[in-house]
Structure 1
Amino acid sequence: MGTFGGLSIASSGLTAARKALEVTGQNVANANTTGYTRQRVDQSPLAQTALATHATQSSVGDGVRVTGVSRVTDTVVTARVNSTASSAAYWNASSSALSSVETSLNEPGANGLSQVMNDFWAKWQTVANNTGTTAAGQGAANALIAQGQLVGSTVSAGYTAASNAWADARAGAASVVSTINDTAARIANLNTTIRALSAAGSDVNSLLDQRDAAVTSLANLAGASTRSNADGTIDVLVGGNALVSGVTTRTVVLGGAGSFSTVASSPVKLTWADTGGGVSLDGGDIAGRIQSLQPADTTGGGAGGVFAEAAKAFDDIARSVADAVNTVHRTGTTATGATGLDFFSYSSTGSPALTLSVVPSTVSGVAVADGTKGNLDNTIADRIAQIGSTAGSPDSAWATYVSRLGSQTATATARSTTATTAAAAATTAQTSVGGVDLDEETANLVIYQHAYQASARVISTINDVLDTLIRMGT
């Protein structure tokens, strides 16, 4: 290689070192930028391009070439970030819904239904101890009627709270669906730009960072996964079906019941807007939300949506306490001799919890005696007072529901904690691969600075040699 070939080699070294310094500066500038992936310069040696002859010597090469600037990523780690984000979002949504319902029950507590029911049975015992139309008897009966009304208002408030929570949860799910569609459209737009710029040989690393962040967001929202295409675009899959196909996207909609009253006949589900078919969900926030919006389990196993299960529990206890009390109360006799009366009433076609009410308004409507033992007999009142402590009582059924809900909440919370820890670990692993380490970048700056200075020194040395040769020839 001639002298001018040496200048070419040194010049390529200057170019490569300068480019490496620029990339290192870009890394340092974005050290605290969320979603930024560390970049590095890819280089390859330029081999000898001419055959050696008897008149020329073999070349050691033609210098160095910058082949591109790549992002430092690990596809396996990135896939793990997305999968763990999906799982964490699902369990976080499930845990949040269950915890909100559990908190609303106020169990155990002075305002919980269990305590209200205990006080109701106690009021029946007080009536049994103060029979007749005396002041004490009337006072006990009035207190009993008030406590019965409190039972009705408590179950009604509980049912209403579950219904309102369902409506809020559905509105939240609809908002998430809108975000899913917007994010999918953004990925398709990024695919379009990335494909065009890649074909033109432009740098698309910042766009790839944006696309990766959007994909992780979709994984969190809907359990999305990806597959790469040859033109630089990606497909985004939800439940094995493409939400984004290269530069095109599909839309999902939240179908099913729009109100709590119709959820039993029309379960909430995610569907494809173009076909109306259901979207299979493997995880993500929307899957957890939709699960909480499902109807109650008709088998009584408690596997339905948490809000519908709560409403069903209030309906069940309203029906059971009314039926249990009325069954005994109808056999009793009031102070005025009336028989066959109900203490509670509720709608046979609507919600028992919303319609539960107390029939008597005074002591004359409360059946205390069995009608065969005189006016001061308390047999019926005493029997009703014992209902709460019998096997299969409304209280035990309510306790079973509260216990089951507590167990479900604890399980979901534990799984949420585990999944969140796994997601954090995956994100840490991703950061360790693609995050910017300022100490490392500082060391790189020194290395590339020395490389630049060395290449410049080569040019300076060759220049001195050429100057000496020129002077020798004069």
Structure 2
Amino acid sequence: MASTFMGLETSKRGLSVHQSALYTTGHNISNANTIGYSRQTVNIVPTTGFPGIGMNSPKIPGYLGTGAEAGSITRVRDQFIDNQLRQETTKLGYWGTKTEAISQMEDVMNEPSTYGLNSAFDSLFKSFQDLSAKPENSATRQVAIEKSNHFADTLNYLGTQLGQIQTNLKTEITAETKNVNSILKKIAQLNEQIGTTEPNGYLPNDLYDARDNLVDQLAQYFPITIEKVPSGGNAKDIAEGIYNVSIKLSDGTKVDVVKGKESATLTAQGYSSQTDAAGVTTYTEGDFDDSETFTPFTQFTVKMGATGTATSLDLAKLNNGSGILQGLVHSYGSAVRDPGGLPVNTINISGLYPEKMADLDKLTLEFAHAFNAIHNSGFTLAYTDANGVVVPSQAGGDFFVAKDATKPMSATNIMVSPDIAADLNKVAASDAADMEGNGKTAIALSNLKTKVIAGLNNASAQSFYQGMIGDLGVKGEQALAMASNSATLQASISNNKASVSAVSLDEEMTNMIMYQQAYNASARMITVMDETLEKIINGMGRVGL
């Protein structure tokens, strides 16, 4: 026979479990707008029925239930969706970074426009075409020099601005590396907190959310894998345990970055070069942060903990599209390692900005050589100087020269010869001496607009530049399309995740009413049992009184 007070205990459990469910519903509602919060649910399970198993257990007609209890309070998550989201986040991190880098380059190039290098080419060639018609006219000579200065200044601007953006990318690599290290440290700290909570039989759901949010942030930088390690002790079977986080390489191997409460520190590696008087170049390898002259490898050192052994992480061993850092390095540029260690020379540097800047320098150098060769074959204008001295016609000199004669001519190191800029008569427009109306050299210079230059892949200078712009446009279109696709997929997966894990106020309000009614019903049951007991205690056994 069941206990007289069994009904009270059953209903009391009903009060308790639905009170817990109401508290959890309130917690969900409070965090409806908390980023990364996963809605929680109380898993209500029945308690052990009456009677128990045994030879001495009472024999009753049926098996009586004894109520319910909160078996656990868990997060509502889908691990498959989480993994999908992190994979797309990695791709979006790469292509978003690449798109931004290309966009900044396109802003500098600014083509097609009335102020870009293509327009400067047109103005330069037109000014020498006009000069060929009136080679003796000082006004046309002045215009030719001004347009030439504008052309050189445009190259200077492009080279300087691209170099500045590249420097900004270097700063960003350093900043993002520090951000990665901060994320890894926080994950390890949460591992430690979770590892001290789970063995007591609790599920620290909010700590789980905080840790998963950090893992999602880390997925922007690298493709990652997670190994769950049990905390031990009295941890529940459904406890998520400790996260060991690794970066997954394309060959299937892994580089550990979090192991329990220990986190790794990543440091970008680079090298600096110094050439002695004999022309021998010495390379010094070290941390990328230490010198403005360092060029990065695709390599990072990964040191686990304060005293751990440093291992190598080579971004070249990741699949293309593997996060923000790879996107930054592919944009800023990286040096390919020689099998013997350091690179043979800096010509091995590859990447969006180094390649485009090298093309611009190549264009500058080859065009200046071709222009100077024609100008050197021409002749200046004879004139009488301020002192009355007659200056005869003579062969023209280099029209474009390096600002710093100790360095090769480049986009940032080109200008019109100061001698020619200071004396209009030194523009060699004629192809013969003492022929004032001869403009054949000037017309030859203007014909460089279409003349093939061997050093520019057998293209004219302007066509070579247009090819650079076309290639940049193709790369920009590809990066934008990939970033758009990744963003669309990520948004779709995020919506799927939200449908599973996010808080729906409508659903929570429905749950609140359901749990409230169940709580009220349990309370009413206690009232009924109280009245029953009151009748038993005060109304029975009073016959004859």
Is this a same-fold pair by TM over 0.5?
yes
What is the match of residue 10 of structure 1?
A: 11
> Is the 1:116–1:150 Cα contact (8 Å) retained in structure 2?
yes
Q: Deviations over 1:368-418 (max 9, x none)?
A: 222279442222211111111234211110000011111111111121111
Question: 1:222–1:163: structure 2 CA closer, same or farther, 3 Å change rule?
Answer: same
The yes-or-no answer on 1:357 pairing with 2:392 is no
> Is the 2:380–2:396 Cα contact (8 Å) retained in structure 1?
no
Aligned structure 1 segments of 4 or more residues deviating by more than 4 angstroms = 52-55, 257-262
> Is the 2:298–2:335 Cα contact (8 Å) retained in structure 1?
no
What is the match of residue 278 of structure 2?
A: none
What's the CA shift for 1:306? 2.4
Map 1:33-44 → 2, pairs under 5 A: 33-44=34-45
What is the match of residue 86 of structure 2?
A: 82
| Partners of 1:51 and 1:467 in 2: CA distance | 33
The yes-or-no answer on 1:366 pairing with 2:427 is yes
Amino acid at match of 2:243: I
What is the match of residue 216 of structure 2?
A: 216
**1:329 alignment partner, one of 365, 370, 375:** 375
Q: Deviations over 1:135-174 (max 9, x none)?
A: x2x2222221222222212111111111111111111121
> Residue 221 of structure 1 aligns to a residue in which SS?
coil
**1:270 alignment partner, one of 283, 291, 300:** 300
Question: 1:23–1:190: structure 2 CA closer, same or farther, 3 Å change rule?
Answer: same
Map 1:196-345 → 2, pairs under 5 A: 196-231=196-231, 232-239=241-248, 240-256=254-270, 263=295, 266-267=296-297, 269-273=299-303, 274-275=309-310, 277-280=312-315, 281=318, 283-295=322-334, 304-335=350-381, 336-339=392-395, 341-345=397-401
| Partners of 1:262 and 1:469 in 2: CA distance | 91
Question: 1:53–1:61: structure 2 CA closer, same or farther, 3 Å change rule?
Answer: farther
> Is the 1:235–1:244 Cα contact (8 Å) retained in structure 2?
yes
| Partners of 1:372 and 1:317 in 2: CA distance | 31
The farther-off stretch of 251-260 and 464-473 is 251-260
> Residue 33 of structure 1 aligns to a residue in which SS?
coil
Amino acid at match of 1:333: F
| Partners of 2:311 and 2:150 in 1: CA distance | 46
The yes-or-no answer on 1:51 pairing with 2:118 is no
Q: Deviations over 1:96-147 (max 9, x none)?
A: 0000001111211121011111111111111111123xxx2x2222221222
What's the CA shift for 1:4? 2.5
Larger proportion of helix: 1
> Is the 2:297–2:335 Cα contact (8 Å) retained in structure 1?
no
Amino acid at match of 2:16: T
What is the match of residue 30 of structure 1?
A: 31
| Partners of 1:144 and 1:417 in 2: CA distance | 46
Amino acid at match of 2:54: L
Amino acid at match of 1:435: A
What is the match of residue 445 of structure 2?
A: 384
CA RMSD of aligned residues (A): 2.5
Q: Deviations over 1:328-354 (max 9, x none)?
A: 222222223322622222357435222
Question: 1:106–1:54: structure 2 CA closer, same or farther, 3 Å change rule?
Answer: closer
What's the CA shift for 1:296? 9.3
What is the match of residue 130 of structure 2?
A: 126
> Is the 1:159–1:310 Cα contact (8 Å) retained in structure 2?
no
What is the match of residue 407 of structure 1?
A: 474
Amino acid at match of 1:430: K
What's the CA shift for 1:309? 2.6
The number of equivalent residue pairs is: 465
Question: 1:37–1:425: structure 2 CA closer, same or farther, 3 Å change rule?
Answer: same
Question: 1:43–1:142: structure 2 CA closer, same or farther, 3 Å change rule?
Answer: same
Larger proportion of strand: 2
With normalisation by structure 1, the TM-score equals 0.91
> Residue 128 of structure 2 aligns to a residue in which SS?
helix
> Residue 54 of structure 2 aligns to a residue in which SS?
coil
Question: Gaps (5+ residues) in structure 1?
Answer: 298-302
Q: Deviations over 1:172-196 (max 9, x none)?
A: 1211111111111001000100111
Question: 1:174–1:352: structure 2 CA closer, same or farther, 3 Å change rule?
Answer: same
Q: Deviations over 1:2-37 (max 9, x none)?
A: 322333222222211111111111111211222211
With normalisation by structure 2, the TM-score equals 0.80
| Partners of 1:448 and 1:317 in 2: CA distance | 75
Amino acid at match of 1:113: L
| Partners of 2:69 and 2:516 in 1: CA distance | 17
**2:499 alignment partner, one of 432, 444, 447:** 432
| Partners of 1:413 and 1:296 in 2: CA distance | 26
| Partners of 1:102 and 1:260 in 2: CA distance | 25
Question: 1:351–1:37: structure 2 CA closer, same or farther, 3 Å change rule?
Answer: farther
Q: Higher relative contact order at CA 8 Å, sep ≥6: structure 1 or structure 2? A: 1
Q: Give the % identical residues.
A: 25
The yes-or-no answer on 1:449 pairing with 2:516 is yes
Amino acid at match of 2:109: L
| Partners of 1:56 and 1:458 in 2: CA distance | 25
What's the CA shift for 1:430? 1.0
> Is the 1:101–1:310 Cα contact (8 Å) retained in structure 2?
no
Amino acid at match of 1:332: G
The farther-off stretch of 287-296 and 150-159 is 287-296
Amino acid at match of 2:332: L
> Is the 1:91–1:415 Cα contact (8 Å) retained in structure 2?
yes
Amino acid at match of 1:412: A
Question: 1:193–1:262: structure 2 CA closer, same or farther, 3 Å change rule?
Answer: closer
Question: 1:47–1:144: structure 2 CA closer, same or farther, 3 Å change rule?
Answer: same
What's the CA shift for 1:253? 1.2
Question: 1:62–1:90: structure 2 CA closer, same or farther, 3 Å change rule?
Answer: same
The farther-off stretch of 278-287 and 379-388 is 278-287
The farther-off stretch of 94-103 and 314-323 is 314-323
> Is the 1:141–1:363 Cα contact (8 Å) retained in structure 2?
yes
